[in-house]
Each structure stands twice: as structure tokens, then as C-alpha cells.
Amino acid sequence: MVEVPVIDVGPLVRGDSDPADTADSAAAIDAACREVGFFTVVGHGVNPDLQSQLDAAARRFFALPDGEKAEIAMARAGRAWRGWFPVGGELTSGVPDLKEGLYFGAELGPGHPRVLARTPLHGANLFPRRPAELREAVLTYMAQMTRLGQAVLGGIALGLGLDRSWFAGNLTADPVTLFRIFHYPPAGPGDDERWGVAEHTDYGLLTVLGQDDSGGLHVRTPAGWVEVEPVPGGLVCNLGDMLERLAGGLYRSTPHRVRNASGRHRLSFPFFLDPGWDAVVEQLPIVDRPPDEDAAAADRWDHASVHGFTGTYGDYLLAKIAKVFPALAAGAAEG
């Protein structure tokens, strides 16, 4: 049985300068990246009161009537792709997910160069009229998660034999940061075979996931599917496609899925720390073996190797999101 390890990342978060202080955390992260691509972090320094405030505000929002939630429907954000979508409004492998959600990203004003250039996925967030406190909670949480994500990437860099600041000085100097809040309602009659979100991998470098205690996250390990048990105070980290590509397959972008069998309303809070929009992610020179693209594609949920892609990270991300929200993608192309 392959288990998802629990790792204390306190030394990395504190920025301890002595390599001996960070060695254990980096070694544990490296082993997890090679074996399963998932790990739970503790000692992360994210404010627990903020997490509670965010959870409470999100539950108040999702309890509102759909008509009020639709005031910030994603279609209203245009090319920025922010806002709310209803249950079944997001697709995984062409199948509607049994969840609703809120999409957020970096808060950019109308004068930002990428907003002026009408770059997709860039712009202002859509926040609801109520609960009004959701706005501050989201923006503060994203700032804390960005700091944590950069610290964890520092540990990953050490595991790859790089300088701890390699990611921050290269791929995440100006990162794409995305944040989602997902609500998985209790399964109803006939929903036993439906997934809250079906098997998939994440697209970028690192995902940091907050979740309630409902459970339901499943990870495909070399030994088969295992459920990731929520750890009180812990945050789940997993690798995205670009990190697997960077490491030449040495690290795993692990497929995962969610089914809410708790009988309760499940909330999750995934934060994505991704390469810069214009970044070109290439295999590290320190990886001495070229990946087998055909074998990698055959083993993937979408049968598409991350090693054969050419272009910027923005190109890769747009192509993936267009399959998740095809109607919005069509509208963005026309607009």
C-alpha cells in the first residue's frame, strides 16, 4: 500500500537558512514526489482563523438561491473566467461534475497590461453582494497560499538538486495563481455512480488543497486508488503536469478524483501556483533521460503526454480549460 505522507514544512516556511534545518523536509517532499505525487503538509503557517472564516463565508454563499448566486455567473466575467458556476456546469472528460464552484485569480485592475491586451484568465474577480466578507477572506487566503506554495516549491527545488530559490527566480517569478472553492452537495437518488469530479490531473506546478473533514478525495497510486484522509490542520499538496514535464517524468502528476459519500455538504479550497503565463517549461538539464512520450500518453487519463507539448504555459492552460468550460471558451474566442 502506498500512503500519502504527512510532512512538516515549517523550516521551509520560516525560511531557515541552515541547509541542515530544511534537509528533512526537502527529502520527504522529494520522496513523495517520486512515489505518489501527493503529500499533506503541516507546520504551514496558514492562519486557522482565516481558514474558518473562509469556510463559513463560502457555506453562506452556497446556501443562497441559484438566482442570487448567478449575479456573479462566470459568463459575466468574460475572458477573465471568474465567478460562479452551478452544479453540472463544469466538465471533466466531457462528463458534468457533481459540484458547483467559484473561480478566482489574481486581482487585476483595468489598467494592467494583460487586461488591456484582453489576455484570457486575467482581470478582476467577481465577488458576491453577500456574504460581503467573502472578498477579503479570499484575497487574504490567496496571499497566504502563495507564500506557502513558494516555500513548498523551494523544498521541491532542493529535492531536484537545485537552489531553493530556483522556482521563484524562474517559473514562478510572476506566477499564474488560481483559486477555487468547490461545493459538493450530498449525493441524491441515482447519483451513486456520479463523481463530484472525475479522474484528472492538475495542469501547472503545485496545488495546495484545503478541505473540510468530509473526505472523498481519491488518488491513483502505483498500488491502486487510495482515499486521502483529512488531517486536522493539514493541507494536501499535489503536483501538476508542468512539474512532471520539468522533471522528465521523475516526479508524478498524479490522477485524482472526488466522490462525496459523507451525506453532508463537502467544501474544498484548491489553490494553484502555476508557471508564468508566458513561461516555456522545458525538461531540466539535470534529468538525464528523455521521457517516453507514447508510454506516458498511454498511462494518462486524457491520453495526452505532457512531454510532447510545445508552447507557453498560457497556451497549455487555455487548451485544458476550454475542455472544462466549452461554452465559455467559445464565447471568449468570439469576443
Identity of residue 123: G
Domain map (residue ranges) of the chain? 6-334
The predicted-structure confidence for 279-321, as pLDDT tens digits, reads as follows 999 999 887 766 677 666 667 767 778 888 899 999 999 988 8
Q: What is the pLDDT of residue 115?
A: 95
Q: What is the pLDDT of residue 289?
A: 67
Q: What is the pLDDT of residue 285?
A: 87
Class of domain 6-334: mainly beta
Positions in the chain whose pLDDT score sits under 50: none
Mapped onto helix, strand or coil, the DSSP state of residue 166 is helix
Which of the 8 DSSP states describes residue 70?
G
Q: What pTM was computed for the model? A: 0.94
The predicted-structure confidence for 86-133, as pLDDT tens digits, reads as follows 998 888 877 889 999 999 999 999 999 999 999 999 999 999 999 999
Q: Name residues whose C-beta falls within 8 Å of residue 55's C-beta, 6 or more positions apart in sequence.
A: 212, 267, 269
The residue to which cell 484575497 is assigned: 139
Q: What is the pLDDT of residue 330?
A: 63
The three three-digit cell numbers of residue 322, written as one number: 476550454
The residue to which cell 437518488 is assigned: 189
Q: What is the pLDDT of residue 190?
A: 66
